[in-house]
Structure 1
């Protein structure tokens, strides 16, 4: 699939994960903007085609960010990644409209599949 000219925002407090996911996004021909927190993403006020966010971060969590965006009627596709995959988290993410929920560590092709599905559905 080709998604040229589309932008993905990666929100993760772990610099190594943020950089790796950003590199993967760029390898797909997409533009990537990287943020170290949900608050930094919100402060940037950026319009984007997809958000990939860690679940647990200092301050606002990835699920809180997703719920805030949905509360604003922002339907941007949203992928949640987490090292803490539990049933309650999965239900909450699904209920808030996450396009995909991936547990860390995840395979690159699993994330690529989530990205492709999320962008194709938007």
Structure 2
């Protein structure tokens, strides 16, 4: 089972992938929404998407909306450098919105477990 990590910042993507790998998951990386779609087409065993919110061209929220329009309902976790407000956390189809902060490792582990158990 794979978890798709989408982040335009290679270092941030690698760090998120390393966190997931240390928690026993198999991450795949995509640098943008178009690569994410290619990965989804190439790997039928992707069970979860973890995406950065602020990316050029297609944001994480736009990627979520695009996937939902295509009837893709994989669990989706959004990561942001900002503090997510209540409205963002309540975005339809979003399983979690996490801040990229010192608590990310713990919060990501809990969010992934919850999303996969749903």
TM over 0.5: yes
Aligned to 1:114: 111
Gaps of 5+ in 2: none
In structure 1, the gaps of 5 or more residues are 1-5
**TM-score normalised over the length of structure 2:** 0.87
Q: Comparing 19-28 with 50-59, which one deviates more in the overlay?
A: 19-28
Change (3 A) 1:66 1:93: farther
The 3 A distance-change label for structure 1 pair 26 and 40 is same
Name 1:15's counterpart in structure 2.
10
| Runs of 4+ residues deviating >6 angstroms | none
Give the alignment's TM-score, normalised by structure 1: 0.84
| Aligned mate of 1:33, from 28, 32, 39 | 28
Cα deviation code 1:9-46 (max 9, x no counterpart): 00001111111111111112211101111111113324
The answer as to 2:12 corresponding to 1:24 is no
Equivalent residue for 1:3? none
Shift of 1:95: 2.8
